[in-house]
Amino acid sequence: MSPLPTRDTRPIIIDTDPGQDDAIAILAALAAPELHVLGITAVAGNVPLELTARNALILVELAGRPDVPVFAGCDRPRRRELLTAEHVHGKTGIDGASLADATTALQPQHAVDWMIETLLAAGEREITICPVGPMTNVAAVLETAPETARHIREIVCMGGGFFNGGNTTPTAEFNVFVDPEAAQIVLHCGAPVTMLPLDVTHKALMTDAWITQVRELGSRTGAAAAGMLDFYERFDVDKYGTFGGPLHDPHVIAYLLRPDFYRGRHCNVEVETESPLTLGMTVVDWWSVTDRPANCQFITEVDSDGFYHLMMGLLSRLP
């Protein structure tokens, strides 16, 4: 059964498009006693919605937490055609592990409707939203019911890149590029926003030795996670010529648990939504050269060893 929330647990909603790195983020969050996962909302992104929702159900069962409700959300960006990333994540989105289909079902309510209902029933600045995919669902919530923003404690998202450039175009990171209008809505919603971009995730690379340690946990979760990571890592190693690939989305969970691992700057961040050359670019006023107000905590530094030690400890708690 789901542990009951206490004054010491932080209520969160994970908005996700699993994705192997999303999978590790979900597993880590479900293992963390400091976090109370109210629900998981699936969005189209790395693979289409039918698969991201299916994957979320599989992952909560893998973690031994089928009590955590999963909701299907938006099947395409607000104003654009869907771009997916099977070339990175495989045809299922979580290739690399042999996982049985879930025995539990999706909740009947649309993710956006559930998020609105849940936020409006909460106190002011109570719930943390964790988008680790395109921000379509979250933007739909904020456009449909702007009053939900005052119930959000913080939006902590993985997305964007500035000093590091992009991973989908020369200037755009995948999550933001898929739905740049959604990211711009989130950045200007009035709730506190923290962004963990490529600038920080590329400073914490996986090693083969770390993945081996995950496998040697000897658990079903460890075996599945290691298989997914073996498959996922090969793309970035080939692309960047590095000794290992970045593990993007789990940084959101690590930031919630150990913000002392991270450093950044509160500054203005805007998303380019018009230019065909730089569509989806996160334009960061790092040096305050404009008079645009700061709207985002933009993270650029991480304790890489601390991050991977934390992830290992969380994965070791799962069956």
pLDDT, tens digit, 9 for 90 and up, residues 282-305: 999 999 999 999 999 999 999 999
pLDDT tens across 57-71, in order?
999 999 999 999 999
pLDDT at residue 2 greater than cutoff 60: no
pLDDT computed for residue 8 by the predictor:
73
Decide which of 245 and 105 is more confident.
Answer: 105
Phi, psi of 167 (to 5 degrees): -115, -5
> Taking all residues of the chain, what is their mean pLDDT, rounded to a whole number?
95
Residue 4 has pLDDT above 70, yes or no: no
pLDDT tens for each residue of 190-223: 999 999 999 999 999 999 999 999 999 999 999 9
Cα–Cα dist 151/241, whole Å: 43
Angle between helices 111-120 and 136-144 (to 10 degrees): 50
Half-sphere exposure in the Cβ direction for 17 (13 Å, CA): 34
DSSP 148: G
Rounded to two decimals, the pTM is: 0.95
Catalytic residue (choose from 36, 89, 202, 248):
248
Where do the H-state alpha helices sit in the chain?
20-31, 49-62, 86-89, 111-120, 136-144, 174-178, 180-187, 198-201, 208-215, 220-240, 250-257, 304-315
Rounded to 5, what percent of the chain is helix, strand, coil?
Answer: 40, 20, 45
- For the record, the structure tokens of 185 come out as 């809505």
User: What per-residue confidence (pLDDT) applies to 249?
Assistant: 98
Q: What are the tens digits of pLDDT across the range 229-278?
A: 999 877 666 767 666 789 999 999 999 999 999 999 999 999 999 999 99
**pLDDT at residue 233, as a whole number:** 79
Burial 241-250 (b: 16+ CB within 10 A, else e): eeebbbbbbb
Residue among 168, 15, 174, 18 at smallest CA distance from 93: 18
pLDDT at residue 39, rounded to an integer:
98
Q: How far is 309 from 38, CA to CA, in rounded Å? A: 25
Q: Is residue 1 very low, low, confident or very high in pLDDT (cuts 50, 70, 90)?
A: very low
Strand order in the sheet with 193-196: 70-72, 35-42, 10-16, 127-131, 152-158, 193-196, 296-302, 262-271, 282-285
Domains of the chain: 10-315 (3.90.245.10)
Residue 87 corresponds to which tokens in the numbers above? Answer: 């070339």
Per-residue pLDDT, averaged over 40-49, amounts to 98
Give the sign of the dihedral formed by CA 238, CA 164, CA 250, CA 83: negative
224 pLDDT above the threshold of 80? yes
* Annotation marks residue 110 as catalytic: no
* Residue scoring higher pLDDT (236 or 4): 236
Return the pLDDT at 7: 52
At residue 177, the pLDDT reads: 98
Helical spans, DSSP H, in 134-173? 136-144
Q: What is the DSSP string of 263-316?
A: EEEEEEEEE--S-TTTTT-EEEETT--S-PPP-EEEEEEE-HHHHHHHHHHHHT
Closest CA to 180 of 281, 95, 285: 281
Q: Which residues contact 123 (CB under 8 A, 6 or more apart)?
A: 151
Side-chain-side CA neighbours of 221 within 13 Å: the count stands at 24
Q: What is the per-residue pLDDT for 243?
A: 66
Helix (H, G, I), strand (E, B) or coil at 71: strand
